[in-house]
């Protein structure tokens, strides 16, 4: 049932191009328009939204952090992202014109469910992004957009995450389309780019052998840092979470701009630092992140750099470069996350751990 792979996780990583394609299937009309009839909120409800909360746990929370960049850019509606266990207990400001997007692969996460109930009590509209058909969270929500990842068996979420990202993009673009705001042309262009993602992820997967080798050489690492900016910051958080949960190596993700405000103090000879570099099209950020690679390298870090094809600026400061195809900035997490999944899986395997069933963790957390 692992389809020839050593672990379900590897099988699920390999299924990502198909999972993304399935999540897009039937949701656009061929002219760059979104057709989300299944989201049973009226156009008026969606036009009235003046604030969005994205609420989730763990990896799904990281998808929400990325969604914020995209949804705010396309819709100009303010978005806050919060872990469900905090949201529920701090009396957030909610009313009829608030849209609460809850994200959950399993649809059974208790913290997320409690947050959704709280949001409904306060009269907010709740839209669930969920993978498990008919599970509790979509049943209790006002509307649902299913990710069509198929069953995810490994405790570490992979295809669940990438399809959550795609669903978040669809929600953002759909809101922009309904509200007819200034990014109309961009909506059609982004829809076309979304359809290129399965191929882009397949390309990344074809180049994973050196990443697996790199993972095997890192079995002895005792800590690791992950750095990124803009949408790559949550990708860094996700890379660190994967490594913690699978390889039991202490890892932290940081916004690269925060480096000088503390984290750089822990870098010393041989500390592995993974840097997710923004596309070169984002001139300013790109240059700043390249300087960050230089800075950590000067303190002895072993730098592992994820950069788009053709980005030669990173080469002088990278001990290892992992290439990903060019994608528009907001969609880049879909491709840059993949090598981090493979890396964590390989490091855990070479340390002799059960990749699919890491210690102390359950696939769905049904207690608060
Ligand atoms: O089923 P959910 O998406 O609600 O699960 C949320 C988290 O528990 C989950 O993403 C967890 O962080 C994973 N083990 C991450 O790989």
Distance CA 159, CA 153 (A): 10
User: Could you report the predicted ipTM of this complex, rounded to two decimals?
Assistant: 0.98
Per-residue pLDDT at 303 exceeds 90: yes
**Looking at the predicted structure, is the pLDDT value of residue 209 above 90?**
yes
37: burial class by Cβ within 10 Å (0-12, 13-18, 19+)?
exposed
- Contact of 324 with 307, CB cutoff 8 Å: yes
d(CA 20, CA 197): 7
How remote is the CA of residue 59 from the centroid of ligand 1, in Å? 5
Shortest CA distance to 129 belongs to which of 148, 145, 115? 145
Distance CA 265, CA 269 (A): 12
**pLDDT in the model for residue 358:** 86
183 pLDDT more than 70: no
Pocket test for ligand 1, best of 7, 55, 58 (most atoms within 8 A of CB): 58
Instruction: Identify the residues whose C-beta falls under 6 Å from ligand 1.
Output: 57-60, 104-106, 109, 112, 155-157, 245, 361, 364-365
Comparing CA positions, the residue from 130, 121, 114 lying closest to residue 98 is 121
pLDDT at 184 over 80: no
Nearest CA residue ID for atom 11, ligand 1: 58
pLDDT at position 367 is 83
* CB-CB contact of 5 with 356 (8 Å): no
Strands (E), the chain: 51-56, 79-83, 98-104, 125-130, 143-146, 223-228, 250-255, 272-276, 302-308, 320-324
**292 CA to centre of ligand 1 in angstroms:** 30
DSSP per-residue codes, 14-35: HTHHHHHHHHHTTSB-SSS-B-
What pLDDT is recorded for position 280? 82
Inter-residue long-range contacts of 288-293, CB under 8 Å, 24+ positions, other chains counted: 288/229, 288/256, 288/257, 289/227, 289/228, 289/229, 289/256, 290/314, 290/317, 292/227, 292/256, 292/257, 292/259, 293/317, 293/318
For 163-296, where are the E strands, in sequence order? 223-228, 250-255, 272-276
This prediction has a pTM of 0.97
What token pair was written down for 234? 């949550």
How does pLDDT run across 322-347, given as a tens digit for each residue? 999 999 999 999 999 999 999 999 99
Residue 363 annotated in active site = yes
304 CA to middle of ligand 1, Å?
26
Nearest CA to 237 among 87, 71, 59, 82?
59
For residue 211, the number of C-alpha atoms closer than 13 Å in the C-beta half-sphere is 23
Which pair of tokens denotes residue 207? 């180049």
Average pLDDT, rounded, for the chain: 94
**Chain segment 50-79, per-residue pLDDT in tens:** 999 999 999 999 999 999 999 999 999 999
User: In the prediction, which pLDDT does 21 show?
Assistant: 98
Q: What are phi and psi of 34, to 5 degrees?
A: -95, 140
Q: What six digits make up the tokens of 175?
A: 């809101």
pLDDT in tens, 210-219: 999 999 999 9
User: Taking a C-beta distance cutoff of 8 angstroms, is the pair 46, 178 a contact?
Assistant: yes
> Which residue has its alpha carbon closest to ligand 1 atom 12?
58
């Amino acid at each position: 049932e692992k389809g020839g792979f050593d672990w379900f996780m590897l099988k699920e990583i390999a299924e990502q191009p198909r999972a993304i394609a399935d999540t897009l299937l039937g949701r656009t009309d061929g002219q760059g328009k979104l057709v989300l009839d299944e989201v049973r909120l009226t156009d008026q409800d969606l036009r009235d939204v003046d604030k969005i909360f994205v609420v989730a746990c763990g990896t799904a929370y990281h998808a929400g952090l990325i969604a914020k960049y995209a949804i705010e850019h396309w819709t100009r509606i303010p978005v806050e992202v919060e872990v469900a266990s905090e949201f529920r207990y701090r009396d957030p400001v909610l009313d009829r014109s608030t849209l609460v997007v809850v994200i959950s692969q399993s649809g059974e996460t208790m913290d997320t469910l409690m947050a959704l109930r709280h949001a409904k009590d306060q009269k907010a509209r709740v839209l669930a992004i969920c993978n498990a058909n008919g599970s509790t969270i979509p049943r209790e929500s006002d509307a649902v957009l299913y990710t069509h990842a198929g069953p995810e068996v490994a405790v570490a979420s992979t295809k669940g995450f990438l399809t959550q990202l795609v669903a978040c993009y669809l929600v953002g673009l759909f809101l922009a389309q309904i509200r007819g705001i200034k990014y109309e042309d961009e909506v059609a262009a982004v829809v076309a780019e979304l359809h290129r993602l399965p191929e882009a992820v397949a390309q990344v997967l074809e180049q994973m052998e050196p990443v697996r080798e790199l993972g095997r050489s890192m079995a002895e690492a005792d800590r690791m840092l992950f750095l990124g900016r803009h949408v790559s910051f949550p990708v860094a958080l996700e890379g660190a979470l994967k490594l913690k949960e699978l390889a039991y190596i202490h890892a932290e993700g940081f916004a690269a701009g925060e480096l000088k405000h503390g984290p750089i103090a822990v870098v010393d000879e041989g500390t592995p630092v993974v840097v997710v570099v923004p596309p070169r099209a984002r001139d300013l950020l790109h240059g700043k992140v390249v300087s960050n690679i230089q800075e950590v390298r000067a303190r002895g870090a072993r730098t592992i750099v994820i950069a788009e094809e053709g980005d030669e600026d990173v080469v002088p400061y990278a001990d290892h470069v992992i290439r990903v195809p060019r994608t528009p900035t907001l969609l880049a997490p879909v491709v840059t996350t993949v090598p981090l999944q493979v890396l964590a899986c390989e490091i855990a395997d070479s340390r002799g751990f059960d990749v699919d069933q890491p210690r102390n963790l359950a696939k769905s957390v049904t207690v608060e």
